[in-house]
Chains A and B, each alone.
Chain A
């Protein structure tokens, strides 16, 4: 995936950081030019976080840093010392899916699934900030995450459904979302 060249000298001495990933302390050493995305995928084996463009445009690589969505392809791993990272692997509570994960799965909001981790984490940050976002707030929050499969509609509906569940409602997706308008 790498598009930039790094000199041999820069690679020779490894960066060494301690941070928290999905609630657990992690210590890792890596070539200092590596992005957080590369550290997560290559050094920690957390391949749930995807890459799609190398320049912070597609949103596939979004993770939460201290609860805020960050494009992990634009952040150096070395800058993460002491921070708290959340990736898609940490979203479920044991075997219980996060409501966003369940709603995405139920509504077919993950087609090819490649944008899904970034979408889920960005949506999670939104719902932590605004518990019942309007459709326009959802669109604004997800405007940096590109999906080529769904046309976003099922994603909005899944975020709305998850928000309702998280508010304690026994909500179902509107019939029109599932069967079309009659």
Chain B
């Protein structure tokens, strides 16, 4: 676990260097073809007829006029695509087009393909639907209070989709050991990804019965599986090409209705069919941050050490399951990765409401509990009169440890991160010392580098890479990963170039194509660099072995003395004895025949053996410390964040400038969630989305964005390629709590809810002036009357074996 602190390990020629991304130039010249840029001759255009009501039975649906409208080539309704699907096998509750019932405003009910967009749009007006309105479920509270009418029949009970309860060690025993216990309520509002590219897809159906779908998806493999199910075609007859995503952030992970509809329309018409959603429709696709109401009860000692934590979350899931079951698990998995929590109980409840479905936005299910945890840590430090940075540092999870909930932490550079942020920000001179209205706040986080378990159960690799070496010295890398802007195509080129000693731009990268590339599970859970990277290393090492054998014969030196660098293969002891890379390829092809190798990666098995333990464990964890400086105007409540200092432990930079970009982008998204972004509805007006437009959904522009001072900490993790860990999601997590904590430092009020809008700050300031608490946030925790008994798992420290046990009266260990 060497720490190179910004400098690449010696001897590396590509890894750790700021090469251009392989797709950067095309993106700067307008050459990159996104889904909506694809045009075919005779192409039709599709539009979706969407529900105007939030919850209703469909009494009748008449599309006959639309079908007969000049220029319309096909109209689909739910009965044409009757198979249910969903991102997770445990909640396949979606249909391409509504059948019998609609559950949200904006739900697709029919689809039209016509000669152009105008005709298709006009035809939508000719579709007649009669609804029988049902009472609506509008919020967490209404879902819990009203078991009827049920949004879905498959939930556990009433409008509760799922309840997950786990206890690791006896938390009551832990609370008994505490000097103090506090319970805090927090609320984290939903927000959406707002990727600039609106979802678009183009489908083609050939006369030999094969479908090709070009679509902006982050997870083409899972989409491929869903298409097989819904369309009834064999997988081998469906070809999915994920076009470069114009922003993903989790919003393009689920299989979507428009992808199913456009495919079926192509199958019916025999013509290429394109759909590009409007911005309003993208808001209906959503799958963004779940609104979360949370209760966090923590026992702690005078030195700030934690004796037990009991965290409860209620998630507003919206109208469908999606990936929400995973989101529920993630609200109770990573609290334990940063500071030692010897006993931990987590409960998650996900409810259905008549709103756009929530899903995996950046950090999926973890920014909410991290907000709760880090704001509470600040309160604990304040209560104990301790410096929040020092208090955190004193109780860090040690590297290479198995924490209470059986998640394995490998390399752990959070201490270094805290030191850097504290030093760089002048924390010691500023904390509790700035004039009224100015403040500084700290928060930290830990985040996974890839989920240990695939979304559907199987024992196959999570990532595969194939290499082709050609006689010209070129190398082609094939991998199913999906480029969403994070640089996943480039990672493959850098890693293969490093192993084979060639230039990254000698390498051609072919990705995200189910016909051409081996499966990679997709761009989610910060898994891509680690998993495709390890698969690429394996494939490249195998190719290198073939080249070595052939060159060793030719040069008459032992193969293990051969070194690959600068497009040459040479004898380490007599560097003048060498072959060019091209010569090496010729020799190897002569000796072995056509050259190609494969590599694959599957995460190491975890130690946990309880149901649900597949979610949480990861090959490696990244860590972040963030310090925010704020200026609060006590007259208006307006909060400005001029600057943040962020230190992120990325293990090893594969490319530092791309890591910087991921960290800065994460801070940006966290800033938006902290201060302004909210996906809210007019509950009393038919559950219509409050602002499904770019104009009114507020997101930070250049004028709101803060300056950032970034520190990259490289605490190598042996599970990562060259030691690398993730950078694309983790750095977002500490941003909202760091800002909330800074606001307390500035004006002495607690805002226990995001977004922290001026009205909330002002209310808290005025309350405080009146002698009240000076807090804005939830005061009531609505909870289901019945919760299942926890799955009880003794912790590793208590000698557990990772299996659940019948509840025993636990003797507090010394």
Residues of A within 8 A of B (CB): 1-3, 5-6, 8, 11, 31, 41, 45-55, 57-58, 60, 87-89, 91-92, 97, 101-102, 104-117, 120, 138-140, 142-154, 156, 173, 177-182
Contacts and interface: CB of A to CB of B under 8 A. Distances in A.
A154 B664 CA distance: 8
B118 interface: yes
26 contacts: A1-B198, A1-B276, A2-B121, A5-B125, A50-B34, A52-B198, A55-B694, A57-B693, A89-B30, A97-B25, A97-B28, A101-B28, A105-B20, A107-B657, A109-B661, A112-B197, A113-B244, A113-B485, A114-B197, A143-B701, A143-B702, A146-B694, A148-B196, A151-B668, A152-B705, A153-B707
B668 A113 contact: no
A167 B694 CA distance: 36
B661 A108 contact: yes
Contact of B30 (A2, A5, A48): A48
Interface string B651-667: 00100111011011111
A13 B321 CA distance: 48
B343 interface: no
B424 A181 contact: yes
Nearest to B26: A113
Most chain A CB atoms below 10 A, which of B424, B701, B703: B701
B18 interface: yes
A156 B122 CA distance: 43
A143 B703 contact: yes
A41 B274 CA distance: 15
A5 B247 contact: no
Contacts of B121: 2, 5
A113 B27 contact: yes
A105 B694 contact: no
Contacts of A116: 27-28
Interface residues of B, number: 74
B693 A53 contact: yes
Given A111-B665, A114-B247, A148-B194, A54 B33 contact: no
B30 A47 contact: yes
Interface of B: 5-6, 18, 20-21, 23-34, 36-37, 39, 117-118, 121-122, 125, 193-198, 244-249, 276, 278-280, 424, 484-487, 653, 656-658, 660-661, 663-669, 671, 693-695, 699, 701-703, 705, 707-712
Contacts of B194: 148
B702 A142 contact: yes
Contacts of A102: 28
Most chain A CB atoms below 10 A, which of B28, B657, B699: B28
B37 A47 contact: yes
Given A104-B24, A139-B705, A178-B18, 7 more contacts: A1-B276, A5-B122, A31-B118, A111-B485, A140-B702, A150-B661, A178-B660
Nearest to A41: B37
Contacts of B658: 108
Contact of A148 (B6, B663, B669, B695): B669
A173 to B, nearest CB: 8
Most chain A CB atoms below 10 A, which of B18, B34, B122, B246: B246
Contacts of A150: 661, 664-665, 668
B197 A52 contact: yes
A105 B24 contact: yes
Contact of A108 (B248, B279, B660): B660
Given A1-B278, A150-B664, A178-B657, A112 B245 contact: yes
Contacts of A148: 193-196, 247, 249, 665, 668-669, 699
Contacts of B424: 181
Contacts of B39: 45
B20 A181 contact: no
Contacts of B36: 1, 47, 51
B245 A153 contact: no
Nearest to B34: A114
B30 A49 contact: yes
A110 B32 CA distance: 12
A37 to B, nearest CB: 12
A145 to B, nearest CB: 8
Contacts of B702: 138-140, 142-143, 145, 152, 156
A151 B712 contact: no
Contacts of B26: 113
Most chain B CB atoms below 10 A, which of A97, A138, A177: A177
A116 B20 CA distance: 15
Contacts of A177: 657, 660
Nearest to B647: A180
A151 B656 contact: no
A13 to B, nearest CB: 14
A1 B665 CA distance: 27
Contacts of B29: 48, 88-89, 91-92, 97, 101
A108 B196 contact: no
A144 B18 CA distance: 29
B793 to A, nearest CB: 39
Most chain A CB atoms below 10 A, which of B5, B122, B705: B705
Nearest to B650: A180
A154 B485 contact: no
Given A97-B25, A150-B664, A6 B118 contact: yes
A3 B39 CA distance: 20
A41 B197 CA distance: 15
Nearest to B23: A113
Contact of A3 (B246, B278, B656, B666): B278
A87 B247 CA distance: 21
Contacts of B484: 112
Contact of A112 (B195, B656, B660, B693): B195
Contacts of B661: 108-109, 111, 149-150, 154
Nearest to A89: B30
Contacts of A53: 279, 693-695
Contacts of B705: 139, 151-153
A91 B701 CA distance: 25
A100 B59 CA distance: 57
A168 B257 CA distance: 52
B30 A117 contact: yes
Contacts of B712: 179-180
Nearest to A52: B196
Nearest to B667: A151
B482 to A, nearest CB: 11
B193 to A, nearest CB: 7
Most chain B CB atoms below 10 A, which of A49, A146, A149, A173: A149
